[in-house]
Amino acid sequence: MGVSLGNSKGFVAEINVTPFVDVMLVLLIIFMVTAPLMTQGLEVDLPQTQTVEVLPTDSEHLVMTIRRDGTMYLDEYPVTLEDMEGHLTRLVKEQHKQLFLRADKEVPYGVVVDVMGRIKAAGIVNLGVVAEQPDEPSGKKKK
């Protein structure tokens, strides 16, 4: 019942990491493919204007979205009118972040003004409004 110590190597004390590396590589690829899809945001039909600036890509801003059906989101998280002021104070004002407002063009003007008033009541004075640049008419061409 003893172990023969002749020509055999005995016990191997090394860990085979090849399966671990394979699994981690697959997980990395899955993460790289799905991460950009998760940041697409909510579907909103934005109003159009002539001058549009690109939103900053850093994480130092939050986006308040008002959808056509009246539901509101702070980034991807749903928020109600009653809870909005507390969330904005905690997440935007206290952390010194910038807030942008995205509202569907079908949302009544009164709802947008009400939300803007609540944002100001939360102590946020700088508010960016998100819009799209209009499509150029087919007669005009870019130079």
Q: For residue range 96-127, list pLDDT tens digits in order.
A: 888 888 888 888 988 888 999 888 888 888 88
Encoding tokens for residue 106?
């079908």
Domain span including residue 102: 61-129
How many domains are there within the chain? 1
- Establish if 87 belongs to a structural domain: yes
Q: Per the domain annotation, does 119 fall within a domain?
A: yes
pLDDT of residue 34: 78
Q: Is residue 42 part of a domain?
A: no
Q: Is the residue at 83 inside a domain?
A: yes
Lowest mean pLDDT across 3-17, 64-78, 129-143: 129-143
2 lies in some domain? no
Give a yes or no: residue 16 inside a domain: no
A 10 A CB-CB count for 112 gives 15
Could you tell me if residue 41 is inside a domain?
no
pTM over 0.85, yes/no: no
CATH code for position 101: 3.30.420.270
Is residue 90 a part of any domain in this protein? Answer: yes
Q: Which two tokens stand for residue 69?
A: 């059906």
Q: How many of the other CB atoms lie within 10 Å of CB of 117? A: 10
Quickly count: other Cβ atoms within 10 Å of residue 22's Cβ: 10
